Amino acid sequence: MRKRYIILVVLAFLVCLAPAVRSADEKVQDASYWRTEGDKYVQMREYDKAIECYKKSHAMDPLHARTVFRIAFSYDAQGKFGESPPYLDKALELVKSGKDSSKLPIGDIYAEKGYILILTGKYRDALPVYDLAIESDPKWSYPVFWKAYAHFKLNDYGKALELCNKVLQMEPNHKDALKLKGMIEQQQPAPPSSPKK
């Protein structure tokens, strides 16, 4: 009799637990739905609508760092650079704490932070941020290129050329790096010609 009672109690508990589990699954599905909708709006360049969708997704799934990152990206795509840093900081906090459920690479966050600094003319401030992005993924050419660009804007042509060459080792047909290399070479003084005998 006692065994039957225990079995009934366990079954009753499982029956009560099932709706809660289903509810949690539905919540994640809803968050995923809003992320997907946000992505669609980004493709159409309707960033305000994308931000609305991403914010709904984030409210349902606050540990998904990619969603917060996409909010920041959408603000940056509109040139609203003052709006994105809190979202990038939140994404960084989630990734560093190990709570991020989306497996967002930390280098993506640093690269976006650096890009904001570049676009707002803070080239010197961008350098250490790009160092962090490069450190997190040394084979990724994107932060190396933008670090080269920052050095170019700071008139440090030697370092800019060195970094451009590094990008071209990674991606020999990198159009932006080839273009920047040409611009750098135009800025550098020609080597002295050898004396005539």
pTM: predicted TM-score of the whole model, two decimal places? 0.78
User: Mean pLDDT over residues 36-48, rounded?
Assistant: 97
Q: What secondary structure letter does DSSP report for 98?
A: T
Q: Sign of the CA dihedral 154, 158, 161, 167?
A: negative
Residue with tokens 């946000």: 38
In the chain, where the domains are located: 26-90, 105-187
Q: What are the pLDDT digits (tens) for 122-149?
A: 999 999 999 999 999 999 999 999 999 9
Whether residue 179 has pLDDT greater than 50: yes
Q: Say what the pLDDT of residue 23 is.
A: 45
Q: What are the pLDDT digits (tens) for 2-16?
A: 555 455 444 445 455
Q: In terms of CATH architecture, what is 26-90? A: Alpha Horseshoe (1.25)
Q: Do 26-90 and 105-187 come out as alike in CATH topology?
A: yes
Q: What are the pLDDT digits (tens) for 145-163?
A: 999 999 999 999 999 999 9
How far is the C-alpha of 163 from the C-alpha of 41, rounded, in Å? Answer: 35
Q: Which CATH superfamily is domain 105-187 in?
A: Tetratricopeptide repeat domain (1.25.40.10)
